[in-house]
Chains A and B, each alone.
Chain A
Amino acid sequence: MKGFTGKLLAVLLSLSLSLILVACQGPEPTSTPTTGGVTESATPTPEPLTPVQITALAGPGTMSGVQTDPIAKEVFEKRFGLTIDFIFAGDKFEERLATEMSSGELPDLVCFTNRKQAETAVQANLLLDLDPLLAEYGQDLSANMPAMLQFMRDNLSGGSGKLYGLTNYVGSQTMTDAIHLALYTRWDLYKQVGAPQVDTYEELLPVFRQMQDLEPENDKGQKNYTFTLWADWDANEMAMANWTIVNYRGVNNSQDNGTLAFTEYNQETKQLKSMFDPDSTYLQTIRFYFKANQMGLLDPDSVTQKFDNVLNKLNDGRLLTAYWGWMAATFNGSPLVEANPLAGMIPVFPKKEARLFLSPNSPVGREFVWSVGAKTQYADRIVSLLNFAATARGAAELMNGVEGTDWSIVDGKAQFLGDNLEKFVTNDPTVKYIGMYEPMCLMSPWNVDPRTGEPINRTCWSQVIRRNLRESEKQWAEANGVLNAFDFASKNLVTVQHDAVSNMTSAPPDNIKIIQQKLAELAKAQSWKMIYAKSEAEFESLLQELLEKAQGLGSETNFEWAQNELAAAKEKAGKYVEFNVN
C-alpha cells in the first residue's frame, strides 16, 4: 500500500510540475492589432462623467502611477473623466516601450520621445487613427494646428495618410525677460574679480579660477566647483556638452536637431556640420570642459554622479555656475540666496560667442509624439483631453496649475493665487505638480496667451519676473546700464531665431540607424574620456581616435544622409505653416 501511494504521489507530482511548467510559457500572442475600429468607442458620454482609469506611458516627464495631484483631479478626472495611471519608466523609457510593443499592444495613451519610435509603432499597427474622432472631439486641434495635423498625416502614417500622432509644442516663442540658454554665475564673486567682459567662453576660465579661489569651500567645508556635469542625461552624445555651450552659441545641437543625429546646425549661418568635424562646436565644447578640468574647475565626480546629486550640490551652494535660466532660478530661490541676495546668479555673455537664441516658430511642433493605443476603449475622452491640450487655455492649466485655485487672470494678467508664488519660486515640493504636465502641452506654452498678452508659461508672467528679480540682477543690470538680463542680451548680442526646419526631417532608414547606434556608443564614452584626459597630448590622441573610429563606423555616410534630408526638409517647410493660438 505504501509503495502504491508513493508511486501515485510521484506520478502526480511529476505530472503537475510538468503541467505548471508548460503553463508557464503562457498563451501564444494570438491577436494582431487592427487599425481603425473606433466606431464603438466614439459614442459620446453624457455629463457628468464617471472617471475611468487609463494607462499611459510617457517618455518625457516624471509622472508615475495613478496621479492624484490637483491637475489630475480637477482637470483630468472632473472635466474629462480620466484617471491616468502612468507606467513608471524613469530613464528607461525606450526599454519599457520596446517591452510594451513586443507584447503586441500599447497603453491607452503614449508619448514617444522621437519620430522613429512613433513610426515603428505605426508600421506595427499599434496606434489608433485619430482622424475619425476629430470632427466630434478634436475641433480645437483642427482649428489651431492644421499644419501639424497635415504634417503628421503626410510624414508619419506609413504612407496611409491617416493621423496616428500629435506633436507637442506647436507655436512660436516670443522674446521675454526670461533667458533660458545662458551660462549663469554668482554675482558676488564675479563682482569681486572685477566683472570682466570677455569675448569667448574660454576666456571665462581664468576668471572662474579666480572666483573659485575666492570661495574654495561652502559654509559646511565642502569643496566648491565652477562646473559639474552628469552622465545620466546622455543620449547619443554627451548631453551636457549639447545643452550648454553648443546651444549658447546659437547652434542646434545633435539632440535637438530632429532626426539628424551627429550633426549640428548653425542657426545663424544655416550651415549643417558633422559633429565629427574637428572644428564642430560640440568638440570645441568638449575641449572647453577638458581645459576646465585641467584648471581644477570641474567637479571630479561628474562622470559617476546623477542629476539628483547635482541638485543637492546646487542647493548647498557648492556650484559657482548654473547652465540654464531655470537652474539659476532654482539656486536663486534657495535659502542661501534669501540670506545673501547678492550671491544670486546672473548670466555671463562672452560677446563674440554668445547669442540670444530663440526657440523656433514651429507650426509642426517638436520631436515628442502623443498617440492613442489602437485597443483603447476610451478614445473619445482621450482625444477630448488632447484637444484641450491644443488650446491656449489648456496649455495654461497643464503648465501652471488649475485656473481659479492655483492662479487666475487678474487685471488682464495671469497671477498665482495665495502663497503659490512664494512656493513656486522657492521650489516648494507641495507645488511640484505645477509644470509636471508640460510635455503634454500640444500648444507651446511659449506662445502669447491671447487673454493676457504675456506668454502662457508662468516663468514669463510679469508677477513672477518681478518676484524673481534679485538684488544681484538689479545690481548687475545697473552696472551694465540695462534694465535686466533680457535687455542686456537684446542690446548686446546677435539674436538668432531657430528656423524649425530640422523639425520637419523624417526618421532615418535602417542602414543609417545602425551607423548612428554604433556612433552613439563611441561618442558618449570618448567624450568623457577626452574631458578627463590628463594632458593636452592625451586629449589630442583621444580626439584623433574618435575621428578615425567614427569614420570607420560610417560617420560620413550618416552626414551625407543628413544633408540630403535637411535639403528635403527645407523644401517641405513652405508647405506647413499654419497655426493659431486660441
Chain B
Amino acid sequence: MSRRDRSGLLSPTAGKPRIRQDVRLFLMALPFLALIFVFSYLPLYGWIYAFFDFRPGFRLADCEFRGLFFFRLMVSDPVSRGEVIRVLTNTFAISGLNLSIQVLPLFFAVFLVEIRSSRLRRTVQSLTTMPNFLSWPLVFAFAYSMLSVDDGFINRLLVQVGALGNPVNFLASSDHVWLTQTGYLVWKTLGWTAIIYLAAISSIDSELYEAAEIDGADRFRIMRHITIPHLLPTFFVLVLLSIANFLNNGMEQYFVFQNALNKDRIEVLDLYVYNIGIRSGMMGYNYSFATAVGVLKSLVSVVLLFVANWGSKRIRGVSIL
C-alpha cells in the first residue's frame, strides 16, 4: 500500500495537516520508544562484557579482549556442556509447566463466580489473592515452617495421624522439583491472575445468561457455552504474553528454594547466570562467562520466537511478526 493511499484513507484533507499529524503521533509515541530503547536495547551494550576479561574495579578499556573465549568455555569440556544442557532442560521444563498452568486461573475464576454466598466468595478471593503480595523469601520461610522434617506442621500432622511412618524431607528432595516449584507458583499467583478473568466475566452481557436460563441451560452448560467462550480472547492474550516471557522465569523463587540436593533440577538459566556470575563473587572469570551465558539466552529466545512465528503461520495463517 503506498503512502499516498494510506494518507488518503486516513485523512481526506491530505498534505500539510497530515504531516503535522504524523509528527504529533510520533511525539506521542516517543516516550514509549525511549523506554523501549533504554530498557530493551541499551542493555545489549552490556554484551560487550562477554568478549572482554572483565574484572570489577577495572575500566573495560583496561581489560583484555578475549574474543569468543567465554563462549567456547561453555562447551569446552563435557562437564560444562552437560551443565548448559541441564540448565536449558530445567528452564524449558519449568517454563513449559508454567505455561500449561495458565488455564488454572481461568477455571478458578469461572467456578468462583458460581459461589452463591457472597461472603464466602469474597473470603476465598481474598485468601487466594493474598499470597501474591508475599515476597519469595517469606514464601520460603512459610514453606520451611510447614514442611521441615521435624518442626514442619505438615510432617508432624501426617506422622501423628499415621499417614506417614517417617517424615518426608520435602524441601531437600530432588524428586518432582519442577512440579513442586510450579505448585508454589500456582499457590502464589492463582488468585491474582484470576482477577483479570473476574473482570472479564463481569463485562459479559447479562442478557446472554438470562436467555440461556430461559432456554433451560444448567449451570455447567452456561459455563461451557457462554462464560468460557467469552474468556478465551483474554486467555489467549495472557498465553501469548507468557510465551514471550518463556525464558524469563526469573530467579527469586528458585534462588530461595535451591539447596545442594535439588540444585540440579531447579537451576534455571537466570539462576545459573546469577550463581556463576555474581554469587561466586570475584573468583576469576565469572562476570564475562555469565554474560556469555546470558547472551545464549537471548539467542535461544530468538530461535523460539521464529519457531512460534512459523507455528502461528502454519496453524492460523497469520504471522506474529
Contact = CB atoms under 8 A, between A and B. Distances in A.
Interface string B53-69: 10111110000000000
25 contacts: A13-B31, A17-B35, A18-B30, A18-B34, A22-B34, A94-B281, A95-B278, A97-B56, A98-B281, A98-B282, A98-B287, A101-B57, A123-B57, A124-B57, A231-B259, A301-B151, A303-B260, A517-B276, A518-B80, A520-B283, A521-B280, A525-B261, A525-B263, A525-B264, A552-B78
Contacts of A7: 24
Nearest to B148: A301
B223 to A, nearest CB: 42
Contact of A17 (B34, B260, B278): B34
Interface string B65-90: 00000000100011110000000000
A99 B287 CA distance: 12
A529 B262 CA distance: 9
Contacts of A14: 27-28, 30-31
B113 interface: no
A322 to B, nearest CB: 19
Interface residues of A, number: 58
A303 B261 contact: yes
B91 interface: no
Interface string B271-286: 0000110111111111
A506 B37 CA distance: 46
Contact of B260 (A24, A126, A529): A529
Contacts of B285: 510, 513-514, 517
Interface in B85-104: none
Nearest to B280: A517
B38 A21 contact: yes
Given A123-B58, A124-B56, A549-B79, 17 more contacts: A7-B24, A10-B27, A14-B30, A94-B279, A95-B278, A98-B287, A101-B57, A102-B56, A120-B55, A301-B172, A304-B169, A305-B148, A510-B285, A517-B283, A520-B283, A525-B260, A525-B261
A340 interface: no
A110 to B, nearest CB: 12
Contacts of B281: 93-95, 97-98
Contact of B59 (A32, A303, A513): A32
Nearest to A517: B283
Nearest to A14: B30
Contact of B148 (A29, A104, A304, A514): A304
A230 to B, nearest CB: 11
A529 B261 contact: yes
Interface of B: 24, 27-28, 30-31, 34-35, 38, 42, 53, 55-59, 73, 77-80, 144, 148-151, 167, 169, 171-172, 259-261, 263-264, 275-276, 278-287
Contacts of B53: 510
B283 A116 contact: yes
A553 B77 contact: yes
A300 interface: yes
B150 A552 contact: no
A95 B73 CA distance: 23
Interface of A: 7, 10-11, 13-14, 17-18, 21-22, 24-25, 29, 32, 92-95, 97-99, 101-102, 104, 116-117, 120-121, 123-124, 126, 222-223, 231, 234, 299-301, 303-305, 510, 513-514, 516-518, 520-522, 524-525, 527-529, 532, 549, 552-553
B60 to A, nearest CB: 11
A95 B57 CA distance: 13
A94 B59 CA distance: 19
Given A525-B263, A553-B77, A301 B169 contact: yes
A300 B31 contact: no
B150 to A, nearest CB: 5
Given A98-B281, A223-B150, A521 B28 contact: no
Contacts of A124: 55-58
A316 to B, nearest CB: 10
A21 B59 CA distance: 24
B284 A513 contact: yes
Nearest to A236: B283
Which of B149, B150, B260, B286 lies at the interface centre, i.e. has the most chain A CB atoms within 10 A of its CB?
A: B260
Nearest to A126: B57
A25 B281 CA distance: 25
A529 B285 CA distance: 27
A301 B150 contact: yes
B10 to A, nearest CB: 17
B25 to A, nearest CB: 9
A17 B169 CA distance: 52
A21 B284 contact: no
Which of A29, A123, A304, A305 lies at the interface centre, i.e. has the most chain B CB atoms within 10 A of its CB?
A: A304
Nearest to B20: A7
A231 B262 CA distance: 13
B157 to A, nearest CB: 15
Given A303-B260, A528-B260, A17 B56 contact: no
Given A94-B281, A510-B285, A520-B280, A104 B57 contact: yes
Given A101-B56, A521-B275, A117 B282 contact: yes
Contacts of B172: 300-301, 303-304, 532
Contacts of A528: 259-261
A552 B282 CA distance: 23
A223 B78 CA distance: 44
B38 A116 contact: no
Contacts of B28: 10, 14
A38 to B, nearest CB: 20
A532 B285 CA distance: 32
Contact of A521 (B30, B77, B276): B276
Given A10-B27, A124-B55, A300-B150, A97 B282 contact: yes
Contacts of B42: 25
Contacts of A299: 149-150
Contacts of B260: 231, 234, 303, 524-525, 527-529
Contacts of A121: 57
A261 to B, nearest CB: 9
A11 B27 contact: yes
Contacts of B27: 10-11, 14
Nearest to B263: A525
Contact of A102 (B31, B57, B149): B57
A516 B24 contact: no
A14 B28 CA distance: 6
Nearest to B150: A223
A60 B102 CA distance: 46
A553 to B, nearest CB: 5
A332 B24 CA distance: 78
Nearest to B73: A514
B151 A222 contact: yes
A456 B280 CA distance: 35
A527 B263 CA distance: 13
Contacts of B278: 95, 98
B185 to A, nearest CB: 19
Given A123-B58, A527-B260, A532-B172, A94 B282 contact: yes
Nearest to A98: B56
Nearest to B38: A21
Contacts of B24: 7, 10
B254 to A, nearest CB: 14
Contacts of B59: 29, 32, 104
A178 to B, nearest CB: 32
Contacts of A17: 30-31, 34-35
B281 to A, nearest CB: 2
A226 B285 CA distance: 41
A17 B142 CA distance: 41
A426 B281 CA distance: 37
Given A10-B24, A13-B31, A104-B57, A222 B282 contact: no
Nearest to A116: B282
